[in-house]
Chain A
Amino acid sequence: MSFYTQWQQQDWQTLQLQSRNFSTAQVRSALHKTRLTLCDLQTLLSPAALPLLPLLAAKAQQLTRQRFGHSVQFYAPLYLSNLCANECTYCGFSLSQKVKRRTLNSAEIAQECLAIKGLGIDQVLIVTGEHERKVGIDYFCDVLPLIRRHFSNVQLEVQPLTIEEYARLKSLGVDAVMLYQETYNAAAYQQYHLKGKKSDIHWRLDAPDRVGQAGIDKIGLGILLGLSDWRTDAILLAQHLQYLQKQYWQCRFSLSVPRIRPCSGGNKVSNPISDKELIQLLCAFRLFAPELEISLSTRESAEFRQHVVPLAITSVSAGSKTQPGGYSVEPENLEQFSIDDTRLPEEVAKALIQQGLQPVWKDWDSFLGR
């Protein structure tokens, strides 16, 4: 049984109603547990937990330090292409967006890799739009060896692929695949994803299963905050995580919960989440899954990151450029979304050191997970 089958049995409305129906006493009891159930997580995500956020944050911080020590990993995104055959109402790369399209060639990729290395970064996240024909498996197989030799850890955030394709990428050195579901709300998903393969929710929901079956070391899950009710999305993501952890017990898992940022498409956020609620979400997940890697990108402001990283975060991006060629080849091109924290990696690192955290630039080797 794949996760899709389990997901189909869930009723969004019921879960959404449940998510608000908890008391302070229940929150306190969940806060004291060492092994949390999904129901405990629901409790910690509920509005009743918000007044107890200082307690939740303190426990999250303690668990983060116990599990990960004082270290915080650094990575940067490497955008290879903004070609996209999808129409997603919130994204600046969408098909109908009048932006200059470009896909980096080998020479440009080498130049970008060196520019990223120049920032001190050794772990990279490859990102592309979704264009099966022009930026598909053959392109990835061509460019991966060029990128692999520069970095100790290579993560990939591209369209969902088949098991065989993931297996090929693993053999070429992909250490992790990020597959953000955006939202687990079927109705909302259809509203936001109008055209292209991304509108097929089944194909996307089962993609982490295919990564797991291909034996890739790490799977990244995520939701795009702002698309739908965040509490309900978070519970379904937790179900997804729990399912995957049982099926693919050798995989590591990471979580990313970006908030929608302004992009060249322009959009109004229909389900906003406050700073406090985002902290609640991140900390609740730390209690639910102490081993979960959680990243926080430059979408968030320097100040917000400064306060939240010590609580629950294990990896941060820094110095990010969100357009192909953005580091060196063509820094002027349009970005996928505008970033907020524009500090250089060394500045972010320095600030973390002042808070008693140790930046980790490398924590993997090319022979691991092959």
Chain B
Amino acid sequence: MLRIADKSFSSRLLLGSGKFAHPSLMQQAIQASGCQLVTLALKRLQLGQQQDDLLHPLQQMNIQLLPNTSGAKTAKEAIFAAQLAREALQTNWLKLEIHPDPRYLMPDPIETLIAAEQLVKLGFVVLPYCSADPVLCKRLEQAGCAAVMPLGAAIGSNQGLQTRAMLEIIIEQATVPVIIDAGLGAPSHAAAAMELGAAAVLVNTAIASSQNPVAMALAFAQAVNAGRTAYNAGLAAAHSHAEPSSPLTDFLATL
């Protein structure tokens, strides 16, 4: 079970709700993956309306909504968004994301830490999207974040675990769940992240932009399970030369 703050989840795959061709496709993809935590952008919601196109289908599902602060370029904007989200969606869970750079959408480490410190004090369960920076992740953890969400590669880039060496350090040191967010373009990337010991992964583009989002969501779920199982089983170390699978050591011991 994945435990974040006071909640447990049997699925270790988080999905984003953007980029789908149709809300019903999003629903089916979520269902197929068994995902229980879904992010959604507050800025996309038409809160005054009776039935929002994005929110309504999500509210019909048995999932934990994770509103995000996308669009915010500063801590101040993110905190404002968080408070609106809490009021509108009746949840204190928040994916904190602050990217002042609209080109690569890189998270701002300084503003993110400032916002995280304040949001925790305001009673939020904060899951911050951040760079794969081990020190920053420890600082966010100390600030009281419920998890950290370092990036594998730039959002939407499908490049996989470009930050692998840093992720290994982050996972080794963490006392909160490490959720690899952004850049995972193939189920094999997700499996690799789980094999490293990530607590979970978040995927959106690779599923929503695929030719068959429902099948791809299932493939990611399977990869996450396989990766987690392998991690629990204990991966064998890689060697630079061959080793026989039926060793002669028993015989050698008798000599």
A residues lining the B interface (CB < 8 Å): 65-71, 122, 152, 217, 245, 249-252, 291, 353, 356-358, 360-365, 367-370
Contact B209 A362 (CB under 8 A): no
15 contacts between A and B (CB under 8 A): A66-B156, A69-B205, A69-B209, A70-B20, A70-B209, A71-B19, A152-B43, A252-B102, A291-B102, A356-B21, A358-B21, A358-B23, A361-B46, A362-B45, A364-B43
> Which residues from chain B contact A152 at a C-beta distance below 8 Å?
43
Question: Main SS of chain A's interface residues?
Answer: loop
> Which residues from chain A contact B205 at a C-beta distance below 8 Å?
66, 69
A240 to B41, CA, bound (A): 31
> Which residues from chain B contact A122 at a C-beta distance below 8 Å?
46
Contact A362 B46 (CB under 8 A): yes
Contact A365 B102 (CB under 8 A): no
Contact B103 A249 (CB under 8 A): yes
> Which residues from chain A contact B19 at a C-beta distance below 8 Å?
65, 68-71
| B97 vs chain A, min Cβ distance (A) | 13
B residues lining the A interface (CB < 8 Å): 18-23, 41-46, 53, 71-73, 77, 80-81, 84, 100-104, 156, 158, 205, 208-209
A252 to B41, CA, bound (A): 18
Contact A365 B20 (CB under 8 A): no
> Which residues from chain B contact A66 at a C-beta distance below 8 Å?
156, 158, 205, 209
A291 to B156, CA, bound (A): 11
Most buried by A among B22, B46, B77, B209: B209
CB-nearest residue of chain B relative to A62?
A: B209
A252 to B73, CA, bound (A): 12
A69 to B71, CA, bound (A): 16
Question: Main SS of chain B's interface residues?
Answer: loop
> Which residues from chain A contact B43 at a C-beta distance below 8 Å?
152, 362-365, 368
> Quick one: which of A67, A353, A365 contacts B156, CB cutoff 8 A?
A67
CB-nearest residue of chain B relative to A251?
A: B102
> Quick one: which of B42, B73, B100, B104 contacts A365, CB cutoff 8 A?
B42
| A361 vs chain B, min Cβ distance (A) | 7
A367 to B23, CA, bound (A): 26
A275 to B114, CA, bound (A): 50
> Which residues from chain B contact A65 at a C-beta distance below 8 Å?
19, 209
CB-nearest residue of chain A relative to B19?
A: A69
| B103 vs chain A, min Cβ distance (A) | 5
Contact A250 B209 (CB under 8 A): no
Take A68-B19, A71-B18, A356-B22 as given contacts and tell me if A368 and B72 are in contact as well, using a CB distance cutoff of 8 Å: yes
| A315 vs chain B, min Cβ distance (A) | 14
| A75 vs chain B, min Cβ distance (A) | 15
| A15 vs chain B, min Cβ distance (A) | 25
Contact B103 A245 (CB under 8 A): yes
Beyond A70-B208, A368-B77, A368-B81, list 11 extra A-B contacts (CB 8 Å).
A67-B156, A70-B209, A249-B100, A250-B101, A291-B104, A356-B21, A356-B22, A358-B22, A361-B46, A365-B43, A368-B73
Most buried by A among B21, B80, B104: B21
Contact A364 B71 (CB under 8 A): yes
> Which residues from chain A contact B20 at a C-beta distance below 8 Å?
69-70, 358
